[in-house]
Amino acid sequence: MDPIPLVKASLGEQELAAVAEVFASGWQAGQGPKGKALEAALIERYGVGDAVALNNCGSALHLALLELGVEPGDEVIVADYTFPAPAHAVHYVGGVPVFADVRADTGTVDPAAVEALITPRTVGVIAVDTVGLPADYAELNAITERHGLFLVEDAACAVGATYRGQEAGALAPVACLSFHGRKGITSGEGGALLTADPALAAGARLRSSFGIGSIFDKAQVVGLPIPEFTGIGYNYKLSDIAAAILLVQLGRIGELLERRRAVAARYAELLADEDLVTLPHVPSDRTHAWQSYLLTLDPDVDRAGVAADLRAQGIGCGHGTWASHLQPVYEAKQQCPTSADLFRRQFAVPMHAELSLDQVERVVASLRVALRAHASTRV
């Protein structure tokens, strides 16, 4: 039977035509006309003060922390159960990541855990919309405002999700998006920084281009303008090729998200009576972008055995995401028991907009057999 990949991008003829247009334009590098159009489209969609198109979400997090003034030794509280890009970004600027445990039902950062970790050295919080589900922003905004801290929303996985009717990506004063190949919309790699503060965005845009600003803009000036390096910057620009793809993908968010929702609904229907797994929980005040579909396995199930059985049948699967505090790179002395438990037990099954409902049924049938084959105390 044909393989069923864990992830698959939804790219087609519209995106190819957009790329061909960029090839013909003569400007394929970053911060050109397509990049500017993408930033304008993001501003309009999210209702933010400004948007900066970047090469990935990690770059957006780094630039956000630089512009927010994080200094060596400053503590930044980060959601623990996630790809560890937020903690990496804190290290980039010499800060200290402090890992906050998460809710057992959603895997999103626990506001009570955040508040308990605040010290005189704390300067801010990075919340994460875990695999596409927004965190508790009413509580998080209240906590950070009360203590005079910044709040950054890592919405890498959450394009199309909502919290209390508002788009993920516009739930904190600064937000970071990802357009990686497994996200809801993609250009293969890519990201964006969104903010209510145009001055913060202007600083991030300058830093993203080595500190000299847009070469494209300089090229439009008659004469010989010579850029000046006004500060240390980075090469974090998004190419116009990728920007053109994303302009098409932005227009397809509704279509692609609806297909993911149909897949999630079918999984929930087929696994409703399966006592060896717990299904994803989505609180009533928010919607999920379904970047991933994570099941929580019964403690008696050998997750590695289940994965081996599915992969032997060509069915993609994965461990979920990471308990960041357990990663050797951090040598963290903290404990985040809920995150650690989810890291041990969560299991990702195929989730993407190209997945057919027949394929979902095949995944579930194989999963049920594998669960029983690898449950130590049940039949």
By annotation, the residues acting in catalysis are: 183
Q: Tokens in use for 154?
A: 């890592």
How far is 240 from 215, CA to CA, in rounded Å?
13
Q: Tokens in use for 258?
A: 């609806």
How far is 187 from 203, CA to CA, in rounded Å?
24
Helix boundaries (H) for the chain: 13-25, 33-46, 57-67, 85-92, 111-116, 137-147, 198-207, 215-219, 240-251, 253-270, 303-312, 337-345, 357-373
How far is 79 from 41, CA to CA, in rounded Å?
29
DSSP letters along 298-352, please?
A: -TTB-HHHHHHHHHHTTB--B----BGGGSTTT------HHHHHHHHHEEEE---
Residue tagged 């790699």 (tokens): 189
Distance of CA 183 to the CA centre of its chain: 7
Residues 6+ apart with CB under 8 A from 140: 109, 111, 114, 125, 127, 151, 172
Using DSSP bridges, classify how beta strands 277-278 and 75-79 pair: parallel, antiparallel or unpaired.
unpaired
Q: What are phi and psi of 129, to 5 degrees?
A: -85, 90
* Whole-Å CA distances, 261 to 192, 278, 291, 293, 358: 24, 18, 10, 10, 15
